Amino acid sequence: MRTQERIYIYIYFDYHGDDKAAWSVLLHRLFLEKRESKSGLVAQAMLRASVSTRRTRLSTLLASAGSRPGHQLRVSSELVRCHLRYTWAAVTLSAKAPRGSGARVPDMSLRADSHAATSTLRKIAADMSNIIESLDTRELHFDGEEVDSEVLNDPKGTACIPFSAVYHTHGFKEPGTQTYLTGCPVRVRVLEVERFTSTKKVPSPNVYTIELTHEEFTWQVKRKFKHFQELHRELLRYKAFVRIPLPTRSHTVRRQSIKRGEPRQMPSLPHTAESTVREEHFSSRRKQLEDYLTKILKMPMYRNYHGTMEFIGVSQLSFIHDLGPKGIEGFIMKRSGGHRIPGLNCCGQGRMCYRWSKRWLVVKDSFLLYMKPDSGAIAFVLLVDKEFNIKIGQKETETKYGLQIDNLSRSLILKCNSYRHAQWWRQGIDEFIRKHGKDFLTEHRFGSYAAVQENTLAKWYVNAKWYFEDVANAMEAAKEEIFITDWWLSPEIFMKRPVVEGNRWRLDCILKRKAQQGVRIFVMLYKEVELALGINSEYSKRTLMHLHPNIKVMRHPDHVSSSVYLWAHHEKLVIVDQSVAFVGGIDLAYGRWDDDEHRLTDVGSVKRMAAVKSVSTTNLASAAESSECVPLQSEALAPESHLFQRNADDVPDTSKMKGVGKPKKFSRFSIYKHLHKHGMHHADSVSSIDSESNKGSIRSLKTGVGELLGETRFWHGKDYCNFVFKDWVQLDKPFADFIDRYTTPRMPWHDISSVVHGKAARDVARHFIQRWNFTKIMKPKYRSLSYPFLLPKSQQTANELKYQVPESVHATVQVIRSAADWSAGIKYHEESIHNAYVNVIENSKHYIYIENQFFISCADDKVVWNKIGDAIAQRILKAHRENKRFRVYVVIPLLPGFEGDISTGGGNALQAIMHFNYRTMCRGENSILGQLKTEIGDKWINYISFCGLRTYAELEGKLVTELIYVHSKLLIADDNTVIIGSANINDRSMLGKRDSEMAIIVQDTETVPSVMDGEDYSAGKFAQSLRLQCFRVVLGGSDLSPEHQDPVCDKFFKEVWISTAARNATIFDKVFRCLPSDQVNNLTQLRDFINKPKLANDDPAKAAEELKKIRGFLVQFPFRFLEEEYLLPSVGTKESMVPMEVWT
């Protein structure tokens, strides 16, 4: 007994007419045969029909189907109707069933519990997509207007495509992808007809140049008549296909994208053979093709079809405003390999290693990219640069009809259909790039990759307080992208201080908040050699990546695979929407935040015992002898005043405050009261309170928003640091102190940074993008789609600023850098920062002001190679020969920033840096002073000054001092030229082949009246204001100190600068006997020196009187410190085994 089980396959086919040839194709293709197996009933489509069989009439097909035993193919009687709307075919398959079961499947239904039926239906539906697209369109004869499908209206679209669409590309055949600008037509003009002659008989000898315009975008394509014919046939297939409601999600979306009532009448294409068209009829032919394409592009159903988009050369990236003008696009075959990756250049170079892939090539004004058609993923980005070049021909490319595109990073080899096709590509790319991206094709001033950008908004920062705030505000304003690269990044640092809004302005909280809003955040960190550095970049990466999927973090380099052990990524960049770029020396890391006061102690945590009265000049001695501790008011006052210019009335009467002895409770109450007063009581926490300590006294803190009473801290946990005393440890515990802030003063941090807008910001972003894309290619773990390729925005839209940092001024700006193959994947290294420094020094006319973390120069072409020190010496000698005033100011740290106890001579690393600093300044014939003394003797003192910075405070009732760590990378010349960046004055930063660096050179265009060498002078607004701020900080003057205006005159140079530095240094030596000191020439003298009593301990009252004479932070640099010792690492130490290049 055999029971028949029926599986019903519904074929919905909008049909108009009584010709049944189309049905013969569909039903024969869908004929099912029975197969029995252990797994049950399996049905599959038979796809073996030939072209002739497809033309068989319906009756023949039905007869043959009915003659097969056990099979019945039923077709609804509606088939014979003239106007057929829906038809169905029921395929009946026999299967064994238990005797007497009576099992039966009802007609016109599908069993929900039948796995076989469901599986079969899915297989057939999936196959239908391929079946219908491969139909012969000659068998589909549709005439007249179509009956509307049951479709939905398009959702309302936006007028433009956002830049964020580059991160959401789709497969080229996927429906619903926005390619065109909503509401904007595509206009067509056939400009010209070229007739090609050939020895062979060519059916389409004419090539039509078609110009298309879509809103602001205009582009051209070249097509033959046969291309029009192929498009026409493909659209007919698509028209038939889209009427069949296949049960697939993509097809349903495709059908729903077609509006109800939308005209679908295919325009007619000229039938005249191309070879018979005479030249006098070209204009008529052009008009016919123009009208045909115009009609096609007016109908969304056909305009959005992937074949049409391929024909007119558009993609999802064509009409994104910030990507600039539209260039040539199209499918090409791309050969694998060609990357310039250090250590891997041999891979993929053999002919046997090549593989060819079909890709969609997109040309923009400053880059090329190609996409994978199936997924739409951007698979590579090639930036236009000075080495950009295009070659064609088999000899050049080793490929028939090959096209080779070179730049500094890759040789991209493409394969075209013909030599003429390759010529079209070369001409199209070359003309477009030369028209829109010519600035990227040439090497610019100083050998930089970036052009000089005029009328650029720029702003400087002295110290990190305002820098951090502006960075935080810019991040908060981000709409699309945030790029960050740092030598070190600490996720938990607070960007705005004091903290009065909970964690809102903590870096990780800002980034998480923006990522949740849809902003894409990309971070690149230097991957340190863990044995040498303890910055724990792995913790930073892990912490940031866990915040949100929109945050992507890379670390580079991989030391083993890249063979890079000695060099570092040293840039400090924050780029927002590729429109605002922060460039300078300040990492978003612990220890960097500071203001102009350079405090040694953290308010709110210095005192552990409540006090009744303060220390004044008259009672300092008795207070020092007493066990009582001195409450300090906020160090928001000048550092020389916070001990001695105050009386008992300046401090709250603690005896009347209930909070005494319970500072935690009182602090919390006071903070909340303050927040409520200023409308910030909704802050999520009050993390500025030292909630762990009950030992702090009550004091006031001057802030920008009023008076805060309580245990307010500026530096939380690891942020309170003194890295010469002790380097950072346990960075995965960010809020745990690692030094005792009650006994050890922090080391203040002096630094410089800047921000630029517009085209200069685009140039900074381009460097970041180049590094990111190179790292993505180089490290296998980043090759997944979750780490996207980044695209540079166009310079043509750079001045459309959506956000502007307040108080910026207009100037001429150029971005300069140090980059090489290991750091950016470029063939030739770039050292434009070095070239800029030397050039500015050589061409300076009045003065040079330098602040830098290192001062290692004066080339001997053996150990040291950069020529900055030599340029300084030669410029001074030139001034001496011309009998003109010329001043050089150099401010560097008193000690290198390496952990080591200087009272015992410091560590080997610290001494090695000291050796090369002294070798540059004053020791040896190659030093600056050595070169000067040879020609002008002791007159060098009239031209150059070397200084450091130092400050003092009271800690636990004791006077303490500490050097201020100068981390700046700054040069100012003549009050009109400034270089700010991350590059130190040493070979590591300057030579380009070593550390990667980024800087800007700013030349003023806005001037203000000033004085230079006693004469009227037009000073640059940017440069002069920065110099005056630096002078105010280091010299301690007021905002309008007239004595600071002229940096060249003898009165300032000798009576203010040198005099202040000498007096301060003398007082510090007298009170603290601090190191380094000119009184210590060797280690024996060092031991004696530190054992002698200090005035600060022996007579605090007298020490206080002396310290009142200090102005600012400036101190003379001690030239003779340890001059009798050999400071390079001794043989046998681990530092001696490190190459000398590490220290230079």
Q: Worst-scoring range by mean pLDDT, 716-725, 815-824, 927-936?
A: 716-725
What is the distance between the terminal CA atoms of the chain, rounded to a whole angstrom? 95
Q: Which of 577, 602, 719, 751 is catalytic?
A: 577
What pLDDT score was predicted for residue 927? 92
Q: Would residue 969 show up in a list of annotated catalytic residues for this protein?
A: yes
Q: Worst-scoring range by mean pLDDT, 5-19, 220-234, 281-295?
A: 5-19
Which position has the higher pLDDT, 1000 or 603? 1000
Among 1032, 1022, 905, smallest CA distance to 973 is for: 1022
> What confidence category does residue 122 fall into, taking pLDDT thresholds of 50, 70 and 90?
low
Q: Which of 239, 339, 969, 1044 is catalytic?
A: 969
Torsion angle (degrees, nearest 10) of CA 437, 438, 439, 444: 150
What pLDDT score was predicted for residue 507? 95
What pLDDT score was predicted for residue 278? 65
Extract the tokens encoding 296: 């096609």
The pLDDT tens digits of the residues spanning 1102-1122 come to 998 899 999 999 999 999 998
Q: Which of 436, 512, 552, 572 is catalytic?
A: 572
Whole-angstrom distance, CA of residue 732 vs CA of residue 789? 30
Percent of the chain with pLDDT over 70: 70
Residue 838 above 90 pLDDT?
yes
* Region 761-774 average pLDDT: 96
Q: Worst-scoring range by mean pLDDT, 216-220, 252-256, 792-796?
A: 252-256
The pLDDT tens digits of the residues spanning 618-627 come to 333 333 333 3
759 burial (CB, 10 Å; 0-12 / 13-18 / 19+) is: buried
Q: What are phi and psi of 218, to 5 degrees?
A: -130, 135
Residue for token digits 């020490």? 1103
Using an 8 Å Cβ cutoff, are 893 and 950 in contact? no
Q: Tell me the pairing of strands 887-891 and 847-852.
A: parallel
> What confidence category does residue 48 fall into, taking pLDDT thresholds of 50, 70 and 90?
very low
Query: What is the crossing angle of helices 1100-1107 and 1059-1072, to 10°?
Result: 170
> What confidence category does residue 252 fall into, taking pLDDT thresholds of 50, 70 and 90?
low
Q: Worst-scoring range by mean pLDDT, 344-358, 364-378, 402-416?
A: 344-358
Residue 1026 above 60 pLDDT?
yes
Using an 8 Å Cβ cutoff, are 1141 and 936 in contact? no
Residue 1011 above 90 pLDDT?
yes
Whole-angstrom distance, CA of residue 413 vs CA of residue 421? 14
The pLDDT tens digits of the residues spanning 1059-1099 come to 999 999 999 999 999 999 999 998 888 888 888 888 888 88
Q: Would residue 974 show up in a list of annotated catalytic residues for this protein?
A: yes
What pLDDT score was predicted for residue 200? 59
> What confidence category does residue 280 fall into, taking pLDDT thresholds of 50, 70 and 90?
low
Whole-angstrom distance, CA of residue 499 vs CA of residue 665? 18
Residue 195 above 60 pLDDT?
yes
Residue 146 above 70 pLDDT?
no
- Going 1001 to 1006 to 1012 to 1017, the CA torsion angle's sign is positive
Q: Worst-scoring range by mean pLDDT, 234-238, 290-294, 356-360, 403-407?
A: 234-238
The pLDDT tens digits of the residues spanning 540-563 come to 999 999 999 999 999 988 766 556
Element (H, E) at 516: helix 507-516
C-alpha 1005 chain-centroid distance: 29
What pLDDT score was predicted for residue 451? 95
Identity at 481, one-letter amino acid code: E
Residue 14 above 70 pLDDT?
no
> What confidence category does residue 352 fall into, taking pLDDT thresholds of 50, 70 and 90?
low
378 burial (CB, 10 Å; 0-12 / 13-18 / 19+) is: buried
What pLDDT score was predicted for residue 30? 45
The C-alpha angle with vertex 350 and arms to 349 and 355, in degrees rounded to 5, equals: 85
**Where is mean pLDDT largest: 159-163, 587-591, 652-656?**
587-591
What pLDDT score was predicted for residue 886? 96
* Region 747-767 average pLDDT: 96
What pLDDT score was predicted for residue 66? 42
> What confidence category does residue 1041 fall into, taking pLDDT thresholds of 50, 70 and 90?
confident
Percent of the chain with pLDDT over 90: 46
Whole-angstrom distance, CA of residue 924 vs CA of residue 485? 38
Using an 8 Å Cβ cutoff, are 819 and 484 in contact? no
Q: What's the mean per-residue pLDDT of the chain? A: 77
What pLDDT score was predicted for residue 1064? 95
Residue 426 above 80 pLDDT?
yes
Residue 1001 above 90 pLDDT?
yes
Query: What is the crossing angle of helices 507-516 and 464-476, to 10°?
Result: 10
Q: Would residue 415 show up in a list of annotated catalytic residues for this protein?
A: no
Whole-angstrom distance, CA of residue 963 vs CA of residue 906? 15
What pLDDT score was predicted for residue 730? 67
* Region 1131-1139 average pLDDT: 80
Whole-structure pTM value: 0.80
Alpha helices in 922-1006 (DSSP H): 928-936, 987-990
* Region 150-165 average pLDDT: 60
The pLDDT tens digits of the residues spanning 690-736 come to 333 333 333 333 334 333 444 567 888 788 888 777 776 767 777 77
Q: Would residue 326 show up in a list of annotated catalytic residues for this protein?
A: no
Distances (CA, A) of 995 to 136, 207, 262, 789, 897: 62, 53, 61, 24, 18
What pLDDT score was predicted for residue 239? 82
Q: Worst-scoring range by mean pLDDT, 95-109, 318-332, 918-932?
A: 95-109
Whole-angstrom distance, CA of residue 887 vs CA of residue 841? 11
What pLDDT score was predicted for residue 348? 43
> What confidence category does residue 275 fall into, taking pLDDT thresholds of 50, 70 and 90?
low
Q: Would residue 718 show up in a list of annotated catalytic residues for this protein?
A: no
Among 1101, 674, 471, 1020, smallest CA distance to 666 is for: 674
The pLDDT tens digits of the residues spanning 437-488 come to 999 999 899 999 999 999 999 999 999 999 999 999 999 999 999 999 999 9
Half-sphere exposure for 49 (CA within 13 Å, toward CB): 23
Element (H, E) at 1003: strand 997-1004
Q: Which of 251, 496, 867, 967 is catalytic?
A: 967
Q: What are phi and psi of 307, to 5 degrees?
A: -65, -40
Q: Which of 334, 552, 570, 776 is catalytic?
A: 570
* Region 306-331 average pLDDT: 93
Q: Would residue 572 show up in a list of annotated catalytic residues for this protein?
A: yes
The pLDDT tens digits of the residues spanning 87-111 come to 333 333 333 334 444 434 334 333 4
What pLDDT score was predicted for residue 69? 39
Whole-angstrom distance, CA of residue 261 vs CA of residue 151? 9
Residue for token digits 């970036």? 450
What pLDDT score was predicted for residue 248? 63
The pLDDT tens digits of the residues spanning 958-991 come to 899 999 999 999 999 999 999 999 999 999 999 9
